[in-house]
Structure 1
Amino acid sequence: MADAFTIQLPNIPSCVALGGYGEENLKLLSQQTGANLVLRGQELLISGTPKQIEMATRLVRSLENLWSKGNSISSADILTARQALESDRQGELQDLQRDILAKTRSGHEIRAKTFHQKKYIEAIRKRDLTFCIGPAGTGKTYLAVVIAVQELLNSRFERLILTRPAVEAGEKLGFLPGDLQQKINPYLRPLYDAINEFIDPEKVPNLIERGVIELAPLAYMRGRTLNNAFIIVDEAQNTTPAQMKMVLTRLGFGSRMVITGDITQTDLPHNQQSGLGISLQILKNVEGIAFCEFTQKDVVRHPLVQRIVSAYEQYEK
């Protein structure tokens, strides 16, 4: 007969946080430890062999900073905690869980969920130019926007510039209704969504009109020098080498730039090299530039997204 151990949870929000949507977290905890985890009221029952119970208990306890406050727990949180236990990095894990990057207008706490994300955040804070590559859902752009908005609100920069290449602009934008701003909005929607979590959406148009926030296609950067600005270049895998060189040389005094992209998901014509891929080779030994790389283990969206990314990675090997 299997042994069993019980952990008493403090309240219902902690049960919801630990269990996850559809008890996905309990399933993942079970998968990671071999133990069986069941929530009954405010009691977490852990059963299995003594070794399985010990591992599951340690893993659950290592997440206590999160579930005890009712903070949502993602699959990335669980996998990072498991990694920390295996590599004796519990101290780093506690720091990661306690370091609140920002709070959304609704009060949701934003923080790094993986060690790679923490390294990325530190790089953005310390370097004037940071490259980050990795698959969808790893927080590349979102975390950069979070930091940029906080820096803007704290008056460390005068402007926030978010840009991305509109690779289909040559033909398809012409068929969309409205003026130019309305035509390019679909390409910039993910950036708007992230900004709206921290700034009242009713105030954003005024900030855009005053040039405090600028969301524009990459082509709009040509011929400019961007001083005292926080610049984020999103979807950079869709830049040509010439476009990448152009935007990198826009960096002015008192500015910071973050380049994000997924070099496995380029929308460029098959015979066109990605400017992001080329720049990584050219600049890899240039002092003062940070390079960060995420993997499918850093995916912080729905657990299914992580499995999809993993499946594609296996297929493409």
Structure 2
Amino acid sequence: MPIITFQGKQYECDSDTPILDSLLARGVNVPCGCRGGICQACMLKATSGKPTELSQTGIEKKLKDKNYFLSCLCKAESDMEVQLPDPSDKYHSSIVYEKEYLNASVVRLRCSRPEGFTYQPGQFVNLMQPEQALVRSYSLASTSDDNFLEFHIRLIHDGRMSNWIADTVENGTFIFVSDAMGSCYYNSACEASPLLLAGTGTGLAPLYGILRNALASGHQQEVYLLHGGLSSEGLYYQEQLQFIAQQRDNFTYQPCVLHGPAPESGVQGSIDEQLRLVLNTRQDWRLFLCGDTEMVNAMRNVCLEHGINESDIHTDSFG
């Protein structure tokens, strides 16, 4: 079996098993996220040996040339020596300058926007905690007109990254930000279509960026936003969204809760059923679905059952 050398130690890895899975099975702490080649949180650098072509899928050329690869996709064909990414290669340095609780379980971070950093509102980045090399993916709630990067962080029990953010991060804390990734964003192809944005929990983060970008771009068609939570306490940004709805005739904001009384102008019930009702109002929606993976899949299935073309459905699911 191929020998993988990582942080000075050697591990036998089955050639039929991705390097990430082999190392994790041996108790090695390797940053990872989706484990499907999308978030790039598990990226490593090969200092000896050659990564497979598949494992470099989606990686920008400058990193490919330095032998970076996705360990969740790489099945070693020979011995390799690998290391964690050099932050100067893969990450931009940023400083947290505002931390605020939006509700009991969601923290908003606003960080400095690194010089030259470009993105489309709705894309996601990897944030890295430098001391422990923790890496997690978070969607951008800010727009390219903002001079900061905004993240909505859901606090997870025993979540190492979210607990670090809740307990340790303060104004002035350094954090590393990867280049932006993902295709869930507004572009010129969306201009002629009505937009239906639907998300649960912090799935509002990318939707908030997409909404503001669409309106700032002069979108004239209808824009409808559904934001779901378990209860009213789980929702946030209601005042901001209601204000936008008051200013724009073509924008409708609909909060939706599964349990307890609905907020003012909101409805009670599951977001996928509410989505079905909105879909029935017209046939030409372009969809943006964000949030928990299971719920995103449920909403996507509702759209497909309704006859929406798959190319008109954009998703950002949180694993």
Q: TM-score, with normalisation over the residues of structure 2?
A: 0.33
Q: Which has the higher strand share?
A: 2
The structure in which a higher percent of residues are helix is 1
Query: Which has the bigger relative contact order, CA under 8 A and spacing at least 6?
Result: 1
Larger radius of gyration: 1
- The TM-score, its normalising length taken from structure 1, stands at 0.33
